[in-house]
Amino acid sequence: MDTKERYQLLLDKINQYNSGEKGITRVAYTNEEQACTQAFMRMCMDAGLQVRMDQCGNVIARRKGRNNDLPPVLMGSHLDTVYQGGKYDGVVGVTAALEVIRRLNDKGIQTDHPIEIISFACEESSRFGISTLGSKAMTGQFDKEKVRHLKDRNGITLEEALELVALEIDTVEEASRIGEPIKAFVELHIEQGPVLENENKKIGIVTGIAAPVRFSIKVLGTPSHSGTTPMNMRKDALLGASEIALELEKVALEEQEFGTVATVGVLEIDSGAMNVVPGEVEIKVDIRGTSTESRQRVLDHLYQTIDRVKNSRKLEIICDEIIAEEPVLLSEEIIQTMETICKEKEIPYKLMPSGAGHDAMNMVRLCPTGLIFIPSVNGLSHHPDEFTELDDIILGIDLLEEVILHYASEDAVIK
């Protein structure tokens, strides 16, 4: 069996763990996700790795180095998915890391530094509305009181979900590796966008990761009869919310050169009916970018728009910040190493930012961090039709192997 066939078999085995009929549903801390995690741990043990699970549910699989006292080199991603997601998001990074280990085993290569595969828990925000929980815990950013009572769509709290998989929210902070010497972390991930495919590039070398600011905005007007309320006497909450949404689009378009984006992804009308002027509407807003100055301009415009709409339409508007994360820049040295490898191997590559969040954005708190993108067909992700060509995955694994081997050498120094 060649490496391509072996990798495809590995990917297929992981994606057997699925609770849905459409796409892949393997949501954090559910039976399917935990079964998948246990299966992956067994695969790592079969490859000769020492495997443990930390207090947040992160899997850490370690391959010994010639000198186990040297700081480890880390690679990995996540196994959980969104509801009705695809077969590649996150999973490719975890399975690629295991394939790198298998290759090193096949070649009889022992590295100076230990190497670890990390499969991060609860990277997706789909269940509890908070993303990268596992890497937040590993990097000392877990605030148990802030997240303890977050609920999923079935009313199960995060605390309860952890208990159901034999984890305790009060010990999650012990998963922190702050202060532990770690040499580097590299994550391989599908792009989740159309840029690489459209520009005919095979590798994206990520320079920075955009971070979101998210809001829940309630617009309160007066519900009234659609037939008997004159247009000039209405306090229409939906029109107020719509005006905010359109202004967000307008200001984000003005910030295109900085890559800043703004999205209204949720709009809920309380007690909506065709013959009722909407009296209460909630929208949820996501604003993100790698430029803090550009993102702040969009935020300023949002606040100004809320004040203007509130006054002009005589509405009450309540704007609550859900989360605010800071954009991060990745290791210049790792970026340069990846560039050198791509040039030597004549791999078409592109330096690019990531608009999506990844565990890598938290790992910068622990060590120099790199992120590799491979193409997504038609830019699809978080979708049942998400697809990445096997040859593109193998090329990404080739690069990942080279980078890991480079930094697992005692001679490779990161400043």
Q: What is the pLDDT along the chain (415 residues), one digit of tens a residue?
A: 788 999 999 999 999 999 988 999 999 999 999 999 999 999 999 999 999 999 999 999 999 999 999 999 999 999 999 999 999 999 999 999 999 999 999 999 999 999 999 999 999 999 998 899 999 999 999 999 989 999 999 999 999 999 999 999 999 999 999 999 999 999 999 999 999 999 999 999 999 999 889 999 999 999 999 999 999 999 999 999 999 999 999 999 999 999 899 999 999 999 999 999 999 999 999 999 988 899 999 999 999 999 999 999 999 999 999 888 888 999 999 999 999 999 999 999 999 999 888 999 999 999 999 999 999 999 999 999 999 999 999 999 999 999 999 999 988 878 7
Q: Which of 143, 144, 147, 141 is nearest to 176 (CA)?
A: 141
Average pLDDT over the chain, rounded to an integer: 96
Dmax of the chain from CA atoms? 81
Structure tokens at 283: 């929208």
For residue 383, the one-letter residue type is H
Q: pLDDT of 44-102, one tens digit each?
A: 999 999 999 999 999 999 999 999 999 999 999 999 999 999 999 999 999 999 999 99
Q: pTM (2 decimals)?
A: 0.86
* Number of helical (H) and strand (E) elements in the chain, helices listed first: 12, 15
pLDDT tens-digit series, residues 310-354: 999 999 999 999 888 888 999 999 999 999 999 999 999 999 999
pLDDT at residue 17, as a whole number:
97
- For 290, other C-beta atoms within 10 Å of its C-beta total 20
pLDDT digits 0-9 by tens, 372-384: 999 999 999 999 9
Calculate helix-pair angle for 91-107, 390-407, nearest 10 degrees: 60
Phi/psi at 162 (nearest 5 deg)? -65, -45
Q: Is 72 exposed, middle or buried (0-12, 13-18, 19+ CB in 10 A)?
A: buried
Contact between 371 and 189 (Cβ < 8 Å): yes
Residue 111 — φ and ψ, nearest 5°? -90, 160
Q: Is the C-alpha dihedral spanning 197, 199, 201, 205 positive or negative?
A: negative
CB 117 within 8 A of CB 185: no
Q: From residue 281, how far is each of 105, 124, 129, 321 by CA, in Å?
A: 57, 26, 20, 16
